Amino acid sequence: MLKLYAGERAKGIEAVIKASKLCQAVFNKLVKSQTLVKEDASPVTVADFGAQAVVNHIIHQAFPNDPIVGEEDSKDLRENQSLCDKVVELTNSVVETPLSTKQILDAIDLGNYKGGPQGRFWTLDPIDGTKGFLRGEQFAVCLSLIVNGEVKVAIQGCPNLPRNINDPNSQRGSLMVAVKHQGVFERSFEDSKETRVKVADAESPSDTSFCESVEAAHSNQSDTFKIAELLNIKNKPIRMDSQCKYAVIARGDAGIYLRIPTRADYQEKIWDHAGGSLMVSEAGGKVTDIDGKELDFSQGRTLKSNRGIIATNGKIHDQVLNAVKQVLHK
């Protein structure tokens, strides 16, 4: 019997592999003039637009009734002809039948769905960790399916992630695939053989390491320093961009991922956490916000009823949560 969401899983893998290839091709040729600064001052590259066009196009062809919550939109591209031409060329280098400029811009804008509690929709971060991508470090192509507010399928392409975090010379490129109640698997981009992964066994926070964003503006690193001290964690933090951090927790390379808000008014985006949270929970771990609340993906494009993120191997979650509360509420 075909497993639940088998079709979505397979199509998602195809889309994420193609988009990841596009990103890698761009990186090898990327010049600063192919980067824009968005209204919120964050960078976006031709690869973010191209990857969103590719994934949205493939998903829309396979599931025409499914709306998509995607990070990017085509507004800035429509005002910049040379950037737009580049995105068209890139997109057409990976899709099967060449698309017109209009089709590509429209595909990007399929990502404008508002999300919410009812029905099914996809959420896409075409490049999570754009800053890491620009530095040649970690980034991820993150696609998930949400049904009635619950994440059911997650596919995450991490082209630069070493298969063994302790050995930077190990093979790079990890594709993580999770379906609710079916576990989480890792494979390479080339070989479809999948290996089931699970979280670390650590019984105590001091037996493990924690990971956090490279960007001090995305997570308060002086708070995480205090939290680690309180938990007697001696290992240095693993600083890494993107949802690769969730992959690292799901694979058991580290036991804790902390994301402590730096501003009271920031709302985390659903595409930054949907896939990651399913991967960690399917690997046996736990994900909540800093108040211990489950992440609520039914609130629209953002996690407006949550603050920050704590992901752990599960066993040590309460200890970590208590330390976070002590540091933040004293």
Ligand X SMILES: Nc1ncnc2c1ncn2[C@@H]1O[C@H](COP(=O)(O)O)[C@@H](OP(=O)(O)O)[C@H]1O
Give the number of other Cβ atoms within 10 Å of residue 70's Cβ: 28
Q: For Mg ion, give the closer residue by CB, 42 or 170.
A: 42
* Parallel/antiparallel/unpaired status of strands 183-187 and 140-147: unpaired
**Quick check: 130 binds ligand X (CB under 6 A)?**
yes
- Among 11, 21, 56, 71, which residue interacts with Mg ion (rule: CB under 5 A)? 71
Distance of CA 227 to the CA centre of its chain: 24
SS3 170: coil
> How many residues comprise the chain?
330
Which amino acid is present at 301?
A: R
Q: For Mg ion, give the closer residue by CB, 71 or 109.
A: 71
242 to 281: interface string for ligand X, x by CB under 6 A: x-------------------xx--x--x--x---------
Q: How far apart are CA 147 and CA 157, in angstroms?
A: 21
- Among 128, 223, 253, 282, which residue interacts with ligand X (rule: CB under 6 A)? 128
Would the annotation count 289 as a binding residue?
no
DSSP assignments along 24-42, one per residue: HHHHHH--GGGEEE-TTS-
**Quick check: 129 binds ligand X (CB under 6 A)?**
yes
Please give the helix or strand (H or E) that residue 305 lies within, else none.
Answer: none
Q: In what order do the strands lie in the sheet with 183-187?
A: 68-70, 120-128, 140-147, 150-162, 172-179, 183-187, 195-196
**Quick check: 215 binds ligand X (CB under 6 A)?**
yes
DSSP assignments along 234-293, one per residue: -SPPEE--STHHHHHHHTTS-SEEEE--SSTT---BGGGTHHHHHHHHHTT-EEE-TTSP
Give the number of other Cβ atoms within 10 Å of residue 210's Cβ: 25
Give the chain's count of helices (H) and strands (E): 10, 14
Which residue number places its CB atom closest to Mg ion? 128
Would the annotation count 290 as a binding residue?
no
Q: Minimum Å distance from CB 318 to ligand X?
A: 24
Would the annotation count 316 as a binding residue?
no
- Among 217, 222, 304, 318, which residue interacts with ligand X (rule: CB under 6 A)? 217
Tell me how many residues contact ligand X (CB under 6 A).
Answer: 19
Q: For ligand X, give the closer residue by CB, 53 or 99.
A: 53
Which residue number places its CB atom closest to ligand X? 213
60 binds, among ligand X, Mg ion, none (CB under 5 to 8 A by kind): none
Structure tokens at 184: 């989480």
**Quick check: 268 binds Mg ion (CB under 5 A)?**
no
Which residues form the catalytic set?
Answer: 48, 130
**Quick check: 282 binds Mg ion (CB under 5 A)?**
no
Q: For Mg ion, give the closer residue by CB, 276 or 285.
A: 276
Residues within window 105-134 making contact with Mg ion, judged by CB under 5 A: 125, 127-128
**Quick check: 41 binds ligand X (CB under 6 A)?**
no
**Quick check: 272 binds Mg ion (CB under 5 A)?**
yes
Structure tokens at 296: 């609520």
Q: Which residues bind Mg ion (CB under 5 A)?
A: 42, 71, 125, 127-128, 272
The residues of the shown chain that bind ligand X, judged by CB under 6 A, are 42, 71, 125, 127-130, 132, 213, 215, 217-218, 241-242, 262-263, 266, 269, 272
- Binding site for Mg(2+): which residues? 71, 125, 127-128, 272
